[in-house]
Amino acid sequence: SLHPGETLDLTLYWQSINAMETDWSIFVHLQDSAGTLVSQRDTYPGMGLLLTSGMQPGRTFADRYVLHVPATAYAPTELRLNIGLYDYSTGQRLRNTDGIDSVQLAILELNAQPGNYTNPQKINFQNRIELVGYEIDRRVLAPGQRLNLTLYWRGLRQLKRDYTVFTQLR
């Protein structure tokens, strides 16, 4: 399990079965229950130093990946850990023997940070006011549906004027 703001350290062990002509990139993705890509690491093997076209069949190597979960990631939710290979120049994914272009290695829990607010945050606006949490009533919307958003604020000092809060849905 993880919390927003933490990192996942992962070591994968890869073995070349056959000689390859293509230099494949590796992707490691954390995707939440709403289908949002929360964190990703895309690289050539060997931290970018190993070309798959130069690998000898039967050779095994360990590769380390660090995925940072943003402090603003929505929690609680489940994160799917998916991996795969793709051709960087075309985006074409390498399929496994079952015809699947990625493998789900695990499901991780993304737990909310402890605190008094749902999805606690510490987003400081010029030492005047701080967003300390937020809550939404749904993660997936259909056209025409309404989203209810609650923002939790903390005043950091006396404000000399009124401010308008705006949100954007992208």
Model pLDDT, residue 50? 86
At residue 170, the pLDDT reads 76
Residue with tokens 């400081």: 124
pLDDT of 83 reads 97
Assess contact for 46 and 63: CB atoms under 8 A: yes
CB 47 within 8 A of CB 64: yes
Q: What pLDDT was estimated at residue 108?
A: 98
Rounded Cα gap, residues 81 and 76, in angstroms: 16
Q: Look up the pTM and report it.
A: 0.79
Return d(Cα 72, Cα 133) in angstroms, integer: 9
| Residue 47 confidence (pLDDT) | 81
Long-range CB contact pairs, 89-94, < 8 A, 24+ = 94/22, 94/24
- What is residue 58's predicted lDDT score, i.e. its pLDDT? 92
Question: The tokens 């990946």 sit on which residue?
Answer: 65
- The type of residue at 83 is I
* Backbone conformation region of residue 99, classed left if phi is above 0, alpha if psi is from -120 to 50, else beta: left
With left for phi above 0 and alpha for psi between -120 and 50, is residue 156 left, alpha or beta?
Answer: alpha
Q: What does the pLDDT profile of the chain (170 residues) look like in tens digits?
A: 999 999 999 999 999 899 999 999 999 999 998 889 999 999 999 888 889 998 899 989 899 999 999 988 988 899 999 999 999 999 999 999 999 999 999 999 999 888 888 888 889 999 999 999 998 988 888 999 999 999 999 999 999 999 999 999 87
Quote the tokens at residue 138: 């749904």
Q: How many CB atoms lie within 10 A of CB 52?
A: 20
Q: In the numeric block, which tokens belong to residue 158?
A: 């006396």
